[in-house]
Structure 1
């Protein structure tokens, strides 16, 4: 038997890709079919809503059940949204709640310190700035909103990942750690020691390790479960911020993150060195 020609193989590959995309779209429409007025729907009704075969609905529904995104009522065999969606929604809500709850305290910190205030979140072993308030002074750290930056050499990143699960830290430190300035620490053993110091003190510091001429301090923000979901940082030029002056910001910073954490549902007493 002759081997299929290359154009035929490409055609089959294209068709398979379209089929997969079609299945993904149908699965999304299936989940969106549920509403407050229709919290449970059977296969026939779903097939009618989606205008697809019942066999297709059954196959997709079983896959979604296996992933926890759907559940099947054993009494009537109808489907309903699963708790897996609640978990995903909670992740989204945390990220939406964090900047909203933090905003007034970020403004207070800028007014108190006169320096740039940063709100960052973890992002695949890095850190992303989701809120930046630039210093009103002429010489200031510039905003980098939305940018992903290495976490190992920034105060905001260290304040977050010092409290991350060991596996997450191991993965981050196993990757290439590119020196961003002559002062950047890239030795994994030294970084682990720095993370331990952050857990002990409750805040992280950087001294021209992420950007030349910039110093910073940051402390972690926790959610209702006690997990660190972000960090608030204060950064400014070394011409204005000695290390002593920077560390002097630690108490108002810790007070701010404690208040933000409590507004996110964290009820335990906020203490220096609180671990995972």
Structure 2
């Protein structure tokens, strides 16, 4: 745990691999995502939207980019696998928060603020919950200039994932271009999720 490769789940009382393991080599990603076809999903989304595609999950009080496919366009969002973003101040992070209970969100906001030395970057629980309410209602979040000026992210939670983790799929790019293509991008994301990921109800049978 001290090296950052395992984290303890207090609910299930089990240890889970952190995303630090996933960025050690492609063979790990292939092993982790084979059944769920997340990598083909990302390839399909990049081809259809031509934006940078991000797969993210939670790592303690941050969102971590597990895998990134760079946009082929000259003007694009550049991010590296393993990159960390605050749960409370990023598109991927807020969508991850939206899948949790209100009590869990309260705790994570408190922990995030406690960890943030810069008081200007601390966030109010009320503001986070307002965003979470919107995400839960519409099923996605479009962040504009939230973490990086000029950059936007359209993020959606994925319905199923291995190791009892919650994953988020996101498009990253210039805000103006994402705004222009918002409707078509949302359609592409929903179709890709339906096409490449198994039906959650089928997995419970």
How big is the shift at 1:232? 0.2
Confirm or deny: 8 A CA contact 1:154 1:210 kept in the other structure.
Answer: yes
- Answer whether contact 1:216 1:246 (CA < 8 A) is retained: no
Shift of 1:98: 3.6
**Secondary structure of residue in 2 paired with 1:249:** helix
Counterparts of 1:34-53 in structure 2 under 5 Å? Answer: none
1:123 aligns with 2:59: yes
Residue 141 of structure 1 is matched in structure 2 by 77
Select which of 186, 194, 217 maps to 2:154.
217
* Normalised TM-score (structure 1): 0.55
1:220-264 CA-partner distances (Å, limit 9, x unpaired): 113379x7611000010124332x5235411221232344442xx
Question: For the Cα contact (< 8 Å) 2:53–2:171, is it kept in 1?
Answer: yes
Mapped to 2, the partners of 1:112 and 1:224 lie a distance apart of: 23
Q: Pairwise mapping of residues 1-276 of structure 1 onto structure 2 (< 5 A)? A: 88=15, 96-98=31-33, 101-174=37-110, 175-176=112-113, 186-223=123-160, 229-242=166-179, 244-262=180-198, 266-267=200-201
CA contact (8 A) 1:115 1:234 kept: yes
Q: Which has the higher contact order (CA 8 A, sep 6+)?
A: 2
Deviation at 1:109, TM superposition (A): 0.6
Contact 1:224 1:267 in 2 (8 A): no
Aligned residues: 178
What is the alpha-carbon distance in structure 1 between the residues aligned to residue 88 and residue 154 of structure 2?
14
| SS of corresponding position for 1:106 | helix
Following superposition, the deviation at residue 97 of structure 1 comes to: 3.0
Report the 3-state secondary structure (helix = DSSP H, G, I; strand = E; otherwise coil) of the residue aligned with 1:209. coil
Kindly name which structure, 1 or 2, has the bigger radius of gyration based on alpha carbons. 1
Q: Which residue of 2 aligns with 1:24?
A: none
> How far apart are residue 132 of structure 1 and its match?
0.2
Structure 1 residues 256 and 159, CA, compared in 2 at 3 Å: closer, same or farther? Answer: farther
Compared CA separation, residues 185 and 199, structure 1 to 2 (3 A): farther
When residues 185 and 202 of structure 1 are mapped into structure 2, their CA distance, relative to the original with a 3 A threshold, is farther
Superposed displacement of residue 126, structure 1 = 1.1
Q: 1:153 to 1:255 in 2, by over 3 A?
A: farther
Contact kept in structure 1, 2:57 and 2:165, CA below 8 Å: no
Say whether the 8 Å CA contact 1:159–1:198 is kept in structure 2: yes
The 3 A distance-change label for structure 1 pair 224 and 124 is closer
Any stretches of 5+ residues in structure 2 without a counterpart? 1-11, 22-28
With structure 2 as the length reference, what TM-score do the two structures score? Answer: 0.72
SS at structure 1 position matched to 2:100: coil
1:218, 1:253 within 8 Å by CA — same for their partners in 2?
Answer: no
